[in-house]
Amino acid sequence: MKWIRWQGLLAFLAISAVLLAFWFLFIDHFIKRHIEKAGTALVGAKVELDKADLTLFPLGLTLTGLKVTNPDEPMKNSFEAARISFAIDGVDLIRKKYIIDEMAVEGVRLNTERKRSGAIGRQKKAESPEKGALKLLAFELPDLKEVLKKEKIESVDLIKGLDSDIRKDRAKFEKDDESLPDEKKIREYRSRIEKLKQARGFGGVVGGAGELLSLKNEIQDQLNRISVLKDEVGAKAADYGKRVQDAAAAPERDIQKIVKKYSITPEGLANLSGLFIGGKLREWVEDGLRWRAKINRVVSPEGAEGGIKVQKTLRGKGVDVQFPEYRPVPDFLIRRASVSVNIPSGDISGLATNITGDQDMLGSPARIRLSGERLKGLTSALLEGEMNRVMPRDPRDNVNFTIRGYKLHDFDLTQTDFIGVALKDALADFDVRAELRGGSIKASIGSSVRSALIQAAVKGTKNEVLDTIAAALSKVNAFKFNADVTGTLESYRLSVTSDLDRVLSDAAGGVLRERLAPFQKGVQDSVFAKTSKPLSELNNDFKGLLDVNGIVSQRFAELNKIFAEATKGGLPGLKLPF
Amino acid sequence: MIRTIAKVLVVLNSETEPAQISLAVCLSMIAGLTPLMSLHNVLVFFLVLILRVNTSSFLLGLTFFSLIAYAFDPFFHFIGYHVLVFDGLRGLWTSLYNITVFKLSNFYNSIVMGSLLFSLIIFIPLFLALNLGIRKYREHILAWIAKTPIAKAITASKFYEYYMSYHKFRGRL
């Protein structure tokens, strides 16, 4: 039988040619679908592409009409790029290395409107604490009785618990004290020493020395026992002293906690600007961190397992074990991408360099620098950023963003159900400095707003506090603010200071304080009524413990004195050899 | 699919060399158990087309092995991963990893490595077992069926005679 079927060779060539033609005809569509799918998974909202065009000579790709939906506002695109084009190294591509020396990203536009929602079922964002605090300004204070019924006064349990501990220890120490030499016993020791001092004659002296030695040993034993008790009581008294002080302050903490929960505290009153500006700033920070997390997935290296780099792939597809390369080259690298961003004021352009997930291999961090000058309604803008993963265990990100003379128009500072504050017109300078290291963030956002026309309108029912605030804000035509962000990426603290604080506090502080005073006093009275008796009992019991401590210390001092007398030698002319 | 199964039954019952059927099934096992879009499968398809193996058996085998491959993936991953991270072979894998053609073969994927290794190991035993099985089938079962009164009645009928003439005529075309 003949084993070779020569017509099979022709069939193989024909099938290969058909597949190649099929690939060539549909590859653009496959690339488009792949980018849309991968982009959507990365961003968490729809990523769409009008067209992908692969060229073979030279090998390169051009993407047209890339639209990336803003996951938080699905009716808007975070950015659009009119055209992205790049050439790719063919030899490296065969080795599964995507090396792009030059990339051009043209016609980038930010925050553009979408015709259809680009949501893919994201969860709704949590309400910012600033919006929650604004509610407190708007609503009447809740019924005090209801509040007190609902809120647990933790200080009562704390005080009672501590009192119970002190009582137990005090009883124990008193019991221990009973087994130790009392006043009577100490007097007895003293009288025995006195007697021995008066001993005369050789027999008296020799007999007295023996008795003195035995007495001294007895006192030494008692002294050791009392010393242990003294140390124990002293340590407990010191510890309880601190805890009693803390318990005494606990009712005040409860009061502050309740007042803070249901109303604006005096500290909050001094920082009202944070309520109006903080929400917007928090949105910016959240947006920044979200985008940073997405970019981080591109520039961060894959994990390692068992000394060999293991790249996790989709479930059911196994894992790719990566071995050392003789000539290490990043799997993916854009050496240089020129970016041109089209904003309403004009064009901002710049460069992004070394975009790769293998910075440790490349030895350089990913950087971006975008700038624009003398634009329409914007004097200058400069963005400089660096994502450093050269040492993957010590990731560092830096962003500096400076804007000068930015003309704001209809810019919402806050929009809630109770009040809306917007900058109808203003000129603003912004300085943003942020540093992320490991899991921590340290950032400052400074701004100076001038020539401002603030539009503040109270919504819904009339509210004295909000009306006063709205009126005060409407009169402001220039202000500055500075925000500091510190903490971890998961839980950071945003603190805002502004010269608006003084304006708002002067205007609304009086009204707020007036509203707050009866509520605060009611909470105070109730908490003190519940805690004063347990606190008084606690103080008495602690005083009792201190008395025990005093008695034990006094006994120790007296006994020590007697021991010194016994050691010095009670008999005239005779020095004890110990 | 039914047409392919029928063709395989015809081939089994014909005088086609058992080795042609067995080799087709063994090659389909490699292509079916390993991820289809792997470089080594180009070679498998080339062999299927250039060697005089039974293509119907190959197609049926490919369907069968592709279906059961999903159930075996964890097992292939286990084998492949341990082979790839085995210290004694690290030098070999590193050398292959640095050769472009091997890099394209995805050998460093645990499932590709596991399934390919498994297929290659059982290739020859399966080939020999299938050869033996087909021979035994033809000797015993087919001979027994041919002796049954129904089979005798069918083969003796005019209709069967016409059908066989048509079949031979079609085969020549």
pLDDT tens digits for range A1-11: 678 888 888 99
pLDDT tier at A549 (50, 70, 90 boundaries)? confident
Residue B169 or A40, more confident: A40
Average pLDDT over chain A, rounded to an integer: 83
Range of lowest pLDDT (A450-454, A466-470, B3-7): B3-7
Identify the three-state secondary structure at position A230.
helix
> Would you state the pLDDT for residue A485?
93
Q: Which residue of A has its CA nearest to B43?
A: A12
pLDDT tier at A351 (50, 70, 90 boundaries)? very high
> Would you state the pLDDT for residue B122?
95
Name the phi and psi angles at A57, rounded to 5.
-130, 100
Whether residue A305 is predicted with pLDDT greater than 50 in this model: the reply is no
> Would you state the pLDDT for residue A483?
92
pLDDT tier at B121 (50, 70, 90 boundaries)? very high
Contact A456, A419 (CB under 8 A): yes
Whether residue A366 is predicted with pLDDT greater than 90 in this model: the reply is yes
Whether residue A319 is predicted with pLDDT greater than 90 in this model: the reply is no
Whether residue A475 is predicted with pLDDT greater than 50 in this model: the reply is yes
Q: What distance in Å separates residue B108's CA from the closest CA in chain A?
A: 5
Whether residue A572 is predicted with pLDDT greater than 60 in this model: the reply is no
Question: Over the stretch A165-221, which tens digit does the pLDDT of each residue have?
Answer: 999 998 888 888 888 788 788 888 888 887 777 766 666 666 667 777 788 888 888
HSE, side-chain direction, 13 A CA sphere, residue A404: 7
CB contacts of B78 in chain A (<8 Å) are: none
Q: Could you tell me the two tokens for A142?
A: 């809740």
A11 CB near a chain B CB, below 8 Å? yes
Tell me which residue in B77, B103, B112 faces A95 most closely, judged by beta carbons: B103
> Would you state the pLDDT for residue B3?
66
Which uninterrupted H or E stretch holds A452? strand A440-458
Average pLDDT over chain B, rounded to an integer: 86
Cβ of B90 within 8 Å of Cβ of A323? The answer is: yes
Q: Could you tell me the two tokens for B140?
A: 């015993």
Q: What distance in Å separates residue B166's CA from the closest CA in chain A?
A: 25
The Cα A500–Cα A514 span in angstroms is 21
Question: Over the stretch A141-168, which tens digit does the pLDDT of each residue have?
Answer: 677 788 878 888 888 899 999 999 999 9
pLDDT, average across residues B36-56: 91
The Cα B135–Cα B57 span in angstroms is 16
> Would you state the pLDDT for residue A1?
60
Question: Over the stretch A77-131, which tens digit does the pLDDT of each residue have?
Answer: 888 999 999 998 888 888 888 899 899 999 888 888 888 888 876 555 566 666 6
Identify the three-state secondary structure at position A331.
coil
> Would you state the pLDDT for residue B42?
93
Cβ of B73 within 8 Å of Cβ of A318? The answer is: yes
B111 CB near a chain A CB, below 8 Å? yes
Percentage of residues in chain B with pLDDT exceeding 70?
87
pLDDT tier at B173 (50, 70, 90 boundaries)? low
Tell me which residue in B50, B98, B106 faces A9 most closely, judged by beta carbons: B50
The Cα A113–Cα A79 span in angstroms is 10
Whether residue A574 is predicted with pLDDT greater than 80 in this model: the reply is no
Tell me which residue in A3, A94, A306 faces B51 most closely, judged by beta carbons: A3
For the question of whether the overall pTM of this predicted structure is more than 0.90, the answer is no
CA A452 to chain centre: 33
pLDDT tier at A364 (50, 70, 90 boundaries)? very high
Q: What are the DSSP calls for A165-185, one per residue?
A: HHHHHHHHHHHHHHTS--HHH
Tell me which residue in A4, A94, A317 faces B104 most closely, judged by beta carbons: A94
> Would you state the pLDDT for residue A314?
47
> Would you state the pLDDT for residue A278?
83
Cβ of B52 within 8 Å of Cβ of A325? The answer is: no
Whether residue A409 is predicted with pLDDT greater than 50 in this model: the reply is yes
B51 CB near a chain A CB, below 8 Å? yes
pLDDT tier at A377 (50, 70, 90 boundaries)? confident
Range of lowest pLDDT (A60-69, A451-460, B26-35): A451-460
> Would you state the pLDDT for residue A315?
47
> Would you state the pLDDT for residue A578?
44
B131 CB near a chain A CB, below 8 Å? no
Q: Which residues are within 8 A (CB) of A330 and not within 5 positions of it... i.e. 6 or more apart? A: A97, A99, A356, A357, A358, A361, A362
Whether residue A570 is predicted with pLDDT greater than 70 in this model: the reply is no
Residue A133 or A457, more confident: A457
pLDDT, average across residues B105-122: 94
- In terms of average pLDDT, the best of A219-223, A397-401, A461-465, A550-554 is A397-401
Q: Which residue of A has its CA nearest to B18?
A: A1
Tell me which residue in B51, B76, B98 faces A325 most closely, judged by beta carbons: B98
pLDDT, average across residues A297-304: 69
Cβ of B50 within 8 Å of Cβ of A1? The answer is: no
> Would you state the pLDDT for residue A306?
45
Q: What distance in Å separates residue B170's CA from the closest CA in chain A?
A: 19
B103 CB near a chain A CB, below 8 Å? yes
Whether residue A299 is predicted with pLDDT greater than 90 in this model: the reply is no
B49 CB near a chain A CB, below 8 Å? yes
> Would you state the pLDDT for residue B97?
92
Q: What distance in Å separates residue A3's CA from the closest CA in chain B?
A: 5
> Would you state the pLDDT for residue B154?
75
Q: Which residue of A has its CA nearest to B79?
A: A318
> Would you state the pLDDT for residue A289?
87
- In terms of average pLDDT, the best of A247-256, A495-504, B65-74, B121-130 is B121-130
CA A298 to chain centre: 24
Tell me which residue in A9, A95, A308 faces B100 most closely, judged by beta carbons: A95
CB contacts of A12 in chain B (<8 Å) are: 45-46, 49-50
pLDDT tier at A283 (50, 70, 90 boundaries)? confident
> Would you state the pLDDT for residue A399?
95
- In terms of average pLDDT, the best of A62-76, B46-60, B113-127, B157-171 is B113-127
Whether residue B57 is predicted with pLDDT greater than 50 in this model: the reply is yes
> Would you state the pLDDT for residue A200?
62
Cβ of A5 within 8 Å of Cβ of B81? The answer is: no
Q: What distance in Å separates residue A96's CA from the closest CA in chain B?
A: 7
pLDDT, average across residues A546-563: 86
Identify the three-state secondary structure at position A115.
coil
Pairing outcome for strands A103-113 and A332-343: parallel
Whether residue A262 is predicted with pLDDT greater than 90 in this model: the reply is no
Whether residue A76 is predicted with pLDDT greater than 70 in this model: the reply is yes
pLDDT, average across residues A344-353: 88
- In terms of average pLDDT, the best of A418-427, A447-456, A547-556, B110-119 is B110-119
Q: A571: alpha, beta or left, given left = phi > 0 and alpha = psi -120 to 50?
A: beta
Q: Which residues are within 8 A (CB) of A559 and not within 5 positions of it... i.e. 6 or more apart? A: A181, A186, A189, A219, A222, A223, A226
CB pairs under 8 A between A and B: 83
Percentage of residues in chain A with pLDDT exceeding 90?
25
The Cα A50–Cα A79 span in angstroms is 14
Whether residue A566 is predicted with pLDDT greater than 80 in this model: the reply is no
Q: How many beta carbons lie within 10 A of that of residue A190, not counting itself?
A: 15
B84 CB near a chain A CB, below 8 Å? yes
The Cα A406–Cα A423 span in angstroms is 12
B31 CB near a chain A CB, below 8 Å? no
Assembly ipTM: 0.77
> Would you state the pLDDT for residue B6?
65
